[in-house]
Each structure stands twice: as structure tokens, then as C-alpha cells.
Structure 1
Amino acid sequence: MRMHWAALRALLTLTVIVGIGYPIAVWLIAQLPGLRDNADGSIVHVDGKAVGSSLIGQLFTDADGNPLPQYFQSRPSAAGNGYDTLSTGASNLGPESIVDAPDKPGLLTLVCQRSKAVGDLDGVDGSRPFCTRDGVGAVLAVMGPGPTRVVSVNEPCADTPRPFLSTYAGVRVECAHEGEDYSAGRIVPIRGTAHGEVPADAVTASGSGLDPHISPAYADLQVNRVAEARGMNPEQVRHLVAQHTDGRDLGFIGEPRVNVLELNIALDHMSAGG
């Protein structure tokens, strides 16, 4: 009985200290001036209404998922359907993911699709090395020592009238046939001559999928489109971007960045005549 009583006292004591006292102490410290905003989630309010967090990105799209032209767009997110804090994480696709699966594009094709979409939206050159004009990975399966056969593995015959490349090493390039296995071939990505204007953060997701920032280069790419949609002078919009651009932490850590939510709120405020 003495041992059971000692164990019960230890349980009750630790419950009070670790289960009650410690959380209350941490909460009280977090409410100190200068810490409270971060502890409460860095919530951003507009007219008394919470519209998001300055630490978590969000989508600026319509009900069908189309980008709203009057807003700056965030970088892609692989967290759930986009910036889902319950599904935070990356796509787990790596540099070797250049051949598309039947039901899932590889990383290269994802990058190509996103770059083409950004180029179409913002009226810039969305072409990219190792990408076809239609926005898929420019990858060949080369079979035989000759070679004897060459297939554009990311271009199914049902989707393309002819492959992105006519011939390779003197052999006619074929489009891919559904259900056919090309794993015996040597996988060869084709660089091409494209030199697009779309920066890397516009086509790749962050490791967490929650990054609220974009690079100044990606923000500058969107200035003309946002200005036109709002009937504003591009220089006004560019000035707002500069105001919401943060430099490197401590002058040398990280890269300059633009908080998309805060920038879009400032745009709404200016458009409303505030």
C-alpha cells in the first residue's frame, strides 16, 4: 500500500506541475508585450475581421480555383488543397521525378505546368529548360544501343498530335502509348533553348507548404497584371511592393521576401481610397 500511495502522490504532483502549472506558465509568458501576437497566431484583421495569418500563406482564387487577377498570387503549396495547416508538408517529389505516372505528374511536369500557367496569366515568357511548349517534362526513353527506338514518355499519343522533338540521334521520336512500359529505355531529359522569365518560387512549393512569402522577382512579375485589373498605375503597385518587402534577417540570413497577404490587404485599402 505504501508503494501504491507513493506512486499516486507522484502522479498527482506531476499532473499538477506538468499538466497544469507548466502550460499556464508558458501561456502567461506568451502574453507578455512583444510575444503575444506571435503566440496568438499572428492573426491579421481587417475592419475587425480575421482574414488570415501573416505566418501562413493562402490562396487568392475564385470558387473554381482560378487565380483572381486583381491579387498577387502566392507560391504553390503541397499542403492538402493548399496551405492546409493539418496537412503541412512537401510533395516528396525529388530531382529524379521526371517521368510522369499514369495518374500523377512528376516534379518536372508540375514545374512545367506551373511555369506555363504563370506565363499565360501574367503575359510573360513561361517557357523553361527541360519543358515542352505544352507544359510537360521534355523527357525521352531511348532504347537500344543504336538507338533503335525513342519515345517521348510524358506525351501520350491521345494528348499530342506529334512529340516535342521530331528526331533524336537520327531516330524518329514517338509519342507514348497508354499502358506500354518504357522502363527498359535510358531516360534522357532534353534541355532545349528556353530562357523563361518565371522565377523558381513561382513553380515550386516550400517544404512546409505554408510559406506566406514570395520573392521580389515573382512580385515584380505580377505588377502589371494587378495594376491593369485594378485600374491603377503600375508604379503605384510597385511602390506598395517595395513597402512590403522585407530584407534578409540580421542582414545576412535568408532572402528578401514579400508577404502576399499583407500586400493584397494594402492593395484593397488603396483601391478603396483609404
Structure 2
Amino acid sequence: MNRLNLSGGLVRQSLVGLKVLIVMTVLLGVAYPAAVWGVSQVAFHDRANGQIVTVDGKDVGSRLIGQDFAVRDDALFHGRPSAADYDGLASAPSNLGPSNPALLKAIAERQATIAKVEGVDVASIPADAVTASGSGLDPYISPEYAALQVPRVAKATGMDIAAVRALVADHTDGRQLGFLGEPKVNVLELNLALADR
């Protein structure tokens, strides 16, 4: 008799546990994610979908992910280097320390290339021009790096240098809440504005 009660109690408890597992899986694994997704689509549609930039019905990039506007095209502003070779699936820093010979060599090579392309002294090149961000996909550059590129872009596009400076100023975002972070320029948006001219 005792053995039957114990066996029956174990089966009943197992069924209760299984029911709780099923209910919690449906609530937390299906209903809650669906509710969060639904709210995000209604309240924050652009942000929830990666802030995709579309031109003439074609997706050209994301405001959040840097692209390879390589040093090869003089008519475009160039972004930060990428430790992930601009691959969103491999987003990561190089993990090289500030005294690592490989990092120092890469920085020196980037400085030499930028100094040659922009026609400036190495000392005037800002750090974000030669170092990758923590994600390796930073879509922003500093206003200083953008200003450094203005003469080259103006010459390559045939635009007045003042007009290119005005475009940079129009696409420079200030500090968040007026005091957090640093001013920044979204390279994709700046290049798209340049292309519209």
C-alpha cells in the first residue's frame, strides 16, 4: 500500500512538473518574446529593425554598422578601420594591447597611408582614423577625422570646400544628452548626402 502511494505521488508530481514546464515555456519562450517584438515594431520600428537605410527602394546599409568606404575612393569619406574586416558576423576587437608589435605596425601603416592620401602630417591624424573600435564595426568617425578629409573630398567631387564643410557640420551629432560621449559623424549618412549633391 505504501509503495503504491509513493508511486502514485511520484507520477502526480511528475505530471505537475511537466505541466509547469509547458506553461512556462509557452509564457516565457513564446508569449513574452512575441509581446516584446510586437511592442518594438509598433513603438520603435526603425530601431528594432537595425536602422536600415534605404535609397530608391534598395537597402544600402545600416546607421549602426560601419562599412568599408576604403581609401580607394577619393570622392567618399572614409570610416574607421575594422578589426573584423567589416564582417557583422565576426564583430570583435583585435584584442591586441597598446604595445603589441602587430598593432603598432598596423597603426604606422595606416598613418602613412592616410598622410599620403590626405596630404597631411602624421601628427595631425586623429586616433580614430588609425584604430579599430571595440566592435570593429563603428559607423562613426570624429569631426576631426571628417575635417581632415574635406579638402580631398571637395577636390574629387568638384564641390566647393565650404559646401563639403557644411555637409560635415550638418551630419555631426553632438554629445548624447548634451554631456555623454563625444561628437561624431555617421559616415554612411554623410556619404549619402554627398551623393545627393
Q: What is the TM-score when the length of structure 1 is the normalising length?
A: 0.66
Moved more, 259-268 or 20-29: 20-29
Aligned with 1:6 (options 11, 16, 19): 16
The within-5 A match list for 1:1-274 is 1-33=11-43, 35-61=44-70, 67-79=72-84, 81-82=85-86, 84-98=87-101, 106-126=102-122, 196-270=123-197
Deviation at 1:25, TM superposition (A): 0.7
Structure 1 gap ranges (5+): 99-105, 127-195
**Any conservation in 2 of the 1:89–1:207 contact (CA below 8 Å)?**
yes
More strand by share: 1
Task: List structure 1 segments (4+ residues) > 4 angstroms apart after TM superposition.
Answer: none
Identical columns (%): 54
Separation (CA, whole Å) in 1 of partners of 2:155 and 2:174: 27
Query: Counterpart of 1:136?
Result: none
Alignment size in residue pairs: 187
Deviation at 1:3, TM superposition (A): 2.4
**Any conservation in 2 of the 1:67–1:73 contact (CA below 8 Å)?**
no
More helix by share: 2
**SS of residue paired to 1:21:** helix
Moved more, 89-98 or 216-225: 89-98
Query: CA-to-partner distance for each residue in 1:159-184, whole Å, 9 max, x for gaps?
Result: xxxxxxxxxxxxxxxxxxxxxxxxxx
Q: What is the TM-score when the length of structure 2 is the normalising length?
A: 0.91
Query: CA-to-partner distance for each residue in 1:8-51, whole Å, 9 max, x for gaps?
Result: 21121011101110111101110233x11111101111111110
